[in-house]
Amino acid sequence: MADIASLIQARYGTPTNFIAGASEGNSTIQTLLQHRSVRNFLPEKLPPGSLEIIVAAAQSAATSSNLQTWSVLALENPEHKDKAATLCGDQEFIRKAPLFLIFCADLDRLTKASVQHGLRGEGLEFTEMFLMASLDAGLAGQNATVAAEALGLGACYVGAARNRPHELAELLKLPPRVIAVFGLAIGKLDPTKATAVKPRLPQKEVLHKETWQVAVNENDAPSQAENLAEYDVTLASFNAGERREGVPAWTQRSARRIETVESLHGRHVLKDVLQQKGFDLR
């Protein structure tokens, strides 16, 4: 494995002066820093036991008050996976991945626990609980991703699981108060189609110490624009190295992604679907 300093430089796309210190040689840190989305998989099944290990790692994630307000569906049947892929942006890599996990915010379990003990479960009617369930699912998904990568597998998150939420819920036969929040395609990487680590925003743009800081440059002038311009250049250099032509600057692409209702790719109906599924969101 590469040294930590090299991995950090790859993560930001530019040299850094970070001190690796005790992290040097730490395999966990190395795995985290080498994360990249993998959409090219070999046509092979996962080694026996992989699913169970990955889910055990997911269940090892932190969960608010130990309420464990998430569940996951594992899709391996090609026909079922094909139908799910159609509803999740019609993305071919989902079909080719031997395992497609769909992580759900799940308040059905607590609804039934409330009924079991003759309690009202009024708290389940508030937005806080849907947020908690979504966060729990996200934490579990990240643990699952790290576990898969530690096993030498590749993974790619699928936010398009929210593109057609009602239809996906019907396909998966989700009960009330359960909704898919994202998918995760997992498989063996195709070594002939390796992908590079994509640089992230400069750390000075996202890290605030003690209180929210208005970014300033050496002349005490607001510098967020400078940070974003710097990142546009960094990502353009990365795309050129990957031979990706005609890719808009990150700022432009991001602005386009949120410009209109249409740019949400169907996700604008999510609140209505949540209400139909029994999420009251008071």
| Residues 67-120: tens digit of each pLDDT | 999 999 999 999 999 999 999 999 999 999 999 999 999 999 999 999 999 999
Predicted pLDDT of residue 219: 66
pLDDT higher at 2 or 178: 178
| Range name among 26-30, 178-182, 217-221 with the lowest pLDDT average | 217-221
Cα–Cα distance for residue pair 7/18, rounded to 1 Å: 11
Quick one: tokens of 93?
């890599």
Q: Residue 155 in contact with residue 91, Cβ under 8 Å? A: no
Cα–Cα distance for residue pair 144/138, rounded to 1 Å: 10
pLDDT higher at 218 or 168: 168
Q: Quick one: CA dihedral 181, 186, 189, 193, positive or negative? A: negative
If 0-12 CB within 10 Å is exposed, 13-18 middle and 19+ buried, where does residue 275 land?
exposed
Average pLDDT, the chain: 94
Cα of 219 vs its chain's centroid, Å = 37
Query: In what side-by-side order are the strands of the sheet with 99-106?
Result: 70-75, 99-106, 178-187, 154-158
**Gyration radius from the chain CA atoms:** 21
Half-sphere exposure (CA, 13 Å, Cβ side) for 92?
Answer: 3
Q: Strand locations in the chain, DSSP E?
A: 70-75, 99-106, 154-158, 178-187
Cα–Cα distance for residue pair 54/48, rounded to 1 Å: 12
Q: Which residues contact 10 (CB under 8 A, 6 or more apart)?
A: 2, 33, 196, 197, 199
Residue 201's pLDDT band (cuts 50, 70, 90): very high
Closest CA to 35 of 202, 155, 185, 203: 155
Predicted pLDDT of residue 242: 87
Cα–Cα distance for residue pair 132/71, rounded to 1 Å: 13
Q: Residue 281 in contact with residue 271, Cβ under 8 Å? A: yes
Q: Residue 94 in contact with residue 185, Cβ under 8 Å? A: yes
The predicted-structure confidence for 128-176, as pLDDT tens digits, reads as follows: 999 999 999 999 999 999 999 999 999 999 999 999 999 999 999 999 9
Residue 215's pLDDT band (cuts 50, 70, 90): low
Per-residue pLDDT for 34 more than 60?
Answer: yes
Residue 217's pLDDT band (cuts 50, 70, 90): low
